[in-house]
Amino acid sequence: MYTVLLVLQVIIALILIALTAFTTTKSETQGGGGFGWGTLGGKASSSIAGLEDQLGRITTWLAVLFLCASALVALWAARF
């Protein structure tokens, strides 16, 4: 069970990293201050209506799942 929790934690962490890389920041959408390089998602992701909101919700829920998985792994490791 410990191995399953640990693998789940790593998978969630990798998905969170990918989602964070594809999320456009406020400074990128407003065009101020940056060099205009953007993230991996760039302007292509912001052109689809509602995609940024969905990515935000998905990222939030994955962060909660990661927190729960981390707590379970810590509790399991402390127990044995």
Rounded-to-integer distance, Cα 13 and Cα 18, Å: 9
Is 32 within the bounds of a domain? no
- Domain ranges, residue 63: 2-22+41-79
Between 76 and 44, the more confident residue is: 76
33 domain-assigned: no
Task: Name the residue among 19, 22, 16 with its Cα closest to residue 43.
Answer: 22
Q: Count other C-beta atoms under 10 Å from residue 23's C-beta.
A: 19
pTM for the full model?
Answer: 0.68
State how many domains the chain has. Answer: 1
- Residue with the larger pLDDT of the pair 9 and 50: 9
- Please provide the distance, in angstroms rounded to a whole number, between the alpha carbons at the two ends of the chain: 12
Task: For residue 53, tell me if it sits in a domain.
Answer: yes
30 belongs to a structural domain? no
- Is the CB of residue 66 less than 8 Å from the CB of residue 13? yes
The closest of 21, 50, 60, 55 to 38, measured between CA atoms, is 21
Q: Which residue has the higher pLDDT, 47 or 20?
A: 20
**57 inside domain:** yes
Establish if 29 belongs to a structural domain.
Answer: no
Q: Which residue has the higher pLDDT, 43 or 19?
A: 19
